[in-house]
Amino acid sequence: MDYQFTIIVPIYNEEDNMERLESELTKYLSIASKKTKVLLVNDGSKDKSQTFIETICERNTHFHYIQFEKNCGLSAAIKAGFDHADTPLVGYIDSDLQTAPEDFNLLLEQIEHYDLVTGVRSNRKDSFVKNMSSLIANGIRRAFTNDGMDDTGCPLKVIKTAYAKRIPMFKGLHRFLPAMILLQNGKIIQIPVQHFPRIAGQAKFGLWNRLLGPLADCFAYLWMKKKYINYTVAKKS
């Protein structure tokens, strides 16, 4: 089947969300603006997530999965998705579905003219502490990267796969995807998307992950930016 778009779904201990995840993504596949498949990446879950994942993939031909031997983190799960993608376009969404799969169509409308299209969560349905820590962290990151993005933590993105595969992913750098596309001289844009409260499972990020961790990652990004190799082949035999 000639797929054009792969949706990566990182999963870590989300058994309470799996049935809803299957339902919502199946609905989206019927209205997707491009032929789409789903890659579920189990990041070493310790609950029954893998059982649900295998059942989902057995009864849905458009769903596939990767299972890690152990928990490696969100950046690793996203990178694994990039590495295994075989479609021209790749994107990702969190398994808690605080963003809506149907909003992928809004991002896909713009991807022809850009190399990364990211959502920006309008009217966020998170706690005051979570919203403020994200606001501060985004401000700090934006000062370091000058990427102009207001919400790089938004778990709804579409990227041209050729660019995604060239991103040298390290822990924490999932927050820097727009900046990493800019390092490749790519074009980026942000589009407002819906946001919903988490209704099942537990958040995997606390104050450290959202604020202090990203600050440390900014220095890693600056080092990488200085050392980054970017070339364009003018001619070959």
Contact assessment for residue 115 and residue 139, using Cβ atoms and an 8 Å cutoff: no
Of 206, 174, 220, 213, nearest to 77 (Cα)?
Answer: 174
How far apart (Å, rounded) are the C-alpha atoms in residues 136 and 128? 12
Tokens 């700090």 correspond to 140
Residues 6+ apart with CB under 8 A from 12: 42, 43, 44, 45, 49, 71, 74, 77, 204
Q: What does the pLDDT read at residue 228? A: 81
Domains of the chain, residue spans:
5-227
Q: What does the pLDDT read at residue 226? A: 84
Q: What does the pLDDT read at residue 212? A: 61
Q: What does the pLDDT read at residue 216? A: 74
pLDDT tens for the chain, 237 residues long, are 799 999 999 999 999 999 999 999 999 999 999 999 999 999 999 999 999 999 999 999 999 999 999 999 999 999 999 999 999 999 999 999 999 999 999 999 999 999 999 999 877 655 555 655 666 666 666 666 677 787 888 899 999 999 999 998 788 788 889 989 999 999 999 999 998 876 665 665 555 555 566 677 887 778 878 888 888 889 998
How far apart (Å, rounded) are the C-alpha atoms in residues 38 and 97? 14
Per-residue DSSP letter, 55:
H
CATH 3.90.550.10 fits domain 5-227: yes
CA 197 to chain centroid, in Å, comes to: 18
